[in-house]
Amino acid sequence: MSLVSIEAASSGGAPALPSRETLARAALAIAAGAAWLFFAFVTENWPDVGEWGRGPELALAAGGFGGALVFAGLLGGFFPRGAERLRRYTPWLLALGLFFTLWQATTAKFALLPQPFFPPPHALVEVFADDWPKLWESVVASIRLELLGFVAGALAGFVVGVSLGWSRAFGYWVHPVMRLIGPMPSIAWLPIAFFAFPSSFSASIFLIGLTTGFPVAVLTWSGVASVNAAYYDVARTLGASRAFLIFKVAIPAALPHVFVGLFMGLGASFAVLVTAEMMGVKAGLGFYLQWAQGWASYANMYAALLVMSLMCSGLITLLFRLRDRLLSWQKAEVQW
């Protein structure tokens, strides 16, 4: 294997040894490939203790992936830039290959983990392969509900927060109500919401909105209240109207705070989303989880959890992107 790298490195004609870095890169890629090949071997050749589908397909895919990694490691010397990019992922790929092998061995092969509560990898593959229409439908339903509630709650919270920061009369009436209702977990409203609203869907939008709205309102309010008073002086001496002071001074200055509230609200709203779907809404990933549990289909539950984590992570990523666009004037803080 290293012979190829040596040949590649000696491009000038005079034989030169490949750098230690090149060798380490190649070794890591090959080790990761070997782990995946071993995973494929274990999956295919060791006998299963139970009945799970899609083992051969998984073995084929893992074997192909492992072979490709080994191949990339061998040829890495020819494509230093590609190899460098691959180098970023190979430690994780190696760890994942080992983890999948361990998972496979402790479940399907030796049943060291209690069955049927810990299904093997190919059982999850089976779920994704056979049940994807239902999973997809659930994801779409969850995202729809989440976004409707989140956007409604964020808008309401933003308006309330700006008004609290700006108007004393508004604060007199709204502040006590917010102090009373805001800190309470919105899920507590669930039993009431489900009969007070025409449908469990609209009730859930209300609950998600309430969860999102509270942190957004508080953080927006504190953002507006903490705007440097000198900004207002500057704007006023330059002829700014009241509307200009609100929309062109207070709100942009408060925006970093608003985003902290949006992140808190989004994180909290996921909990409400899943609970609402488990308790009453007849769609979405929470409902899918509940349904899978009813049938004791543990593989389906793990598959749904995986999809749910991807969905939540994706939504948080979108919010980070939006923040980076709107607050590009700030020095970058957290990289998500």
Partner 1 sequence: MVSLAHDISTVPGVEIAVKDVSHRFDLEGAPLPVLDRVNFTAQRGEFVALLGPSGCGKSTLLRLVAGLEPPTQGGITANGEPIAGPDPSRVVVFQDPTLFPWRNVRDNVALGLEAQGLLKLRGARVEETLLLVGLEDFAKAFPHQLSGGMAQRVALARALVNDPDLLILDEPLGKLDSLTRLSMQGEIVNLWRRAGFTVLLVTHDIEEALLMATRVIVFSERPASIKADIAIDKPYPRHRDDPDLVARRREILGLLGLDASW
Q: CB under 8 A: which stretch of 67-75, 136-144, 178-186, 238-246 binds partner 1?
A: 238-246
- Residue 237 found at the interface with partner 1 (CB under 8 A): yes
* Nearest to partner 1 of 250, 274 (CB atom): 250
Q: Of the ranges 27-35, 157-165, 188-196, 324-332, which one interacts with partner 1 (CB under 8 A)?
A: 324-332
d(CA 264, CA 283): 25
Neighbours of 134 (CB within 10 A): 15
SS3 letters for the chain? CHHHHHHHHCCCCCCCCCCHHHHHHHHHHHHHHHHHHHHHHHHHHCCCCCCCCCHHHHHHHHHHHHHHHHHHHHHHHHCHHHHHHHHCCHHHHHHHHHHHHHHHHHHHHCCCCCCCCCCCHHHHHHHHHHHHHHHHHHHHHHHHHHHHHHHHHHHHHHHHHHHHHHCHHHHHHHHHHHHHHCCCCHHHHHHHHHHHCCCHHHHHHHHHHHHHHHHHHHHHHHHHHCCCHHHHHHHHHCCCCHHHHHHHHHHHHHHHHHHHHHHHHHHHHHHHHHHHHHHCCCCCHHHHHHHHHHCCCHHHHHHHHHHHHHHHHHHHHHHHHHHHHHCCCCCCCCCC
CB of 93 to partner 1, least distance (A): 39
CB of 231 to partner 1, least distance (A): 6
Instruction: Out of 13, 15, 133, 239, name the contact with partner 1 by CB under 8 A.
Output: 239
Q: How far is the CB of 227 from partner 1 (least distance, A)?
A: 10
Q: Which amino acid is at 162?
A: V
Between 54 and 323, name the residue whose CB sits nearer to partner 1: 323
Q: Please identify which residue in 235, 260, 279, 283 interacts with partner 1, judged by CB under 8 A.
A: 235
Q: Minimal distance in Å, beta carbon 235 to partner 1?
A: 6
**253 touching partner 1, by CB under 8 A:** yes
230 binds partner 1, rule: CB under 8 A: yes
> Can residue 320 be called a binding residue for partner 1 (CB under 8 A)?
no
CB of 334 to partner 1, least distance (A): 17
Q: Which residues contact 136 (CB under 8 A, 6 or more apart)?
A: none
| Of residues 14 and 230, the one with the C-beta less far from partner 1 | 230
Q: How many residues bind partner 1 (CB under 8 A)?
A: 22
The correct pick among 62, 83, 193, 249 for binding partner 1 (CB under 8 A) is 249
Q: Contacting partner 1 (CB under 8 A), which of 87, 134, 144, 236?
A: 236
CB of 243 to partner 1, least distance (A): 10
Could you tell me which stretch among 87-95, 103-111, 127-135, 247-255 binds partner 1 (CB under 8 A)? 247-255
Please, which of residues 136-195 interact with partner 1 by CB under 8 A?
none
Residues that bind partner 1 (CB under 8 A): 228, 230-231, 233-241, 244, 248-249, 252-253, 255, 327, 329-331
